[in-house]
């Protein structure tokens, strides 16, 4: 698990190398060598180990967004930092966790959501959208659009106000979901993406195996292919 062959062309940050070194020393395995349950458990454990904690003064509340797509509704966690009191109309930021649409949950992005709310400051909505393979596409997109529409109609309930802007964002697969929402929900005021680097384009699924120059060029380092999905 090394970046050595890529160093002549790319600058690899020391923290990135150290991260993958620690993962390897801990015996992390690629997702394709794990069951879905094992991958999800590993993803949560990894988040607990590396995300850490942060100081946060404010409120953290749980809501359930009603939807026609599932009887239990969509769970969300809403963070409102005390610094929002200094804003005339604190914005509402709807955040979608990453995980390849298969792993990940609200718990894995709890720390970053607290940081967003504290430092922006803004009201952050952390979404527990449905995952594959139990829930096939477009379940995740249905949940995302439903939550954003509900948020736009309930800003005051969440601790913002009618004049507050509403934005969306996410990391990795969550960034893709956030980008999709902007095509289906009118009136999104801003977008924020983290950990969402597009370095290749795939027009067909089989290009991963049989084509796609960008994919071939970036194939191999710990941050790509199976090694990027360590649990």
Interval 2-58: pLDDT, tens? 677 777 888 888 888 888 888 888 888 888 899 999 999 999 999 998 888 899 999
The residue extents of the domains of the chain are 4-33+199-228, 55-194
* Helix runs in 169-217, H state only: 173-184, 207-210, 213-217
**Please, what sign has the CA dihedral across residues 77, 81, 82, 88?**
negative
The answer to whether 113 and 125 have CB atoms below 8 angstroms apart is no
pLDDT at 202: 41
Q: What is the pLDDT of residues 161-187, one digit of tens each?
A: 999 999 999 998 999 999 999 999 999
Prior bond to 138 cis, omega within 30?
Answer: yes
pLDDT computed for residue 43 by the predictor: 92
Is residue 91 within 8 A of residue 79, CB to CB? The reply is no
Cα–Cα distance for residue pair 27/46, rounded to 1 Å = 12
| Domain 55-194 CATH class label | alpha beta
Arithmetic mean of pLDDT, 86-109: 95
Mean pLDDT, residues 136-163 taken together? 97
Beta strands in 118-194 (DSSP E): 123-127, 166-171, 190-194
CB 185 within 8 A of CB 166: no
């Amino acid at each position: 698990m090394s970046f050595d062959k890529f160093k002549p062309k790319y600058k690899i940050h020391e923290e990135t190398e150290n991260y993958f070194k620690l993962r390897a020393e801990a015996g992390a395995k690629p997702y394709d060598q794990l069951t879905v349950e094992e991958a999800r458990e590993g993803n949560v454990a990894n988040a607990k180990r590396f995300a850490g904690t942060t100081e946060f003064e404010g409120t953290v509340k749980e809501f359930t967004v009603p939807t026609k797509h599932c009887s239990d509704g969509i769970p969300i966690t809403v963070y409102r930092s005390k610094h929002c009191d200094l804003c005339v109309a604190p914005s509402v930021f709807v955040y979608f966790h990453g995980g390849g649409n298969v792993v990940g949950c609200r718990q894995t992005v709890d720390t970053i959501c607290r940081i967003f709310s504290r430092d922006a400051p803004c009201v952050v909505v952390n979404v527990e959208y449905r995952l594959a393979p139990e829930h096939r596409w477009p379940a995740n997109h249905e949940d995302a659009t439903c939550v954003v529409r509900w948020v736009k109609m309930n800003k005051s309930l969440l601790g913002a106000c009618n004049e507050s802007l509403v934005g969306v964002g996410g990391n990795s697969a969550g960034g893709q979901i956030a980008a999709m929402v902007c095509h289906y929900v009118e009136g999104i005021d801003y977008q924020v993406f983290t950990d969402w680097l597009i370095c290749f384009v795939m027009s067909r699924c089989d290009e991963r195996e049989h084509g796609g120059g960008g994919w071939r060029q970036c194939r191999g380092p710990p941050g790509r292919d199976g090694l990027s999905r360590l649990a």
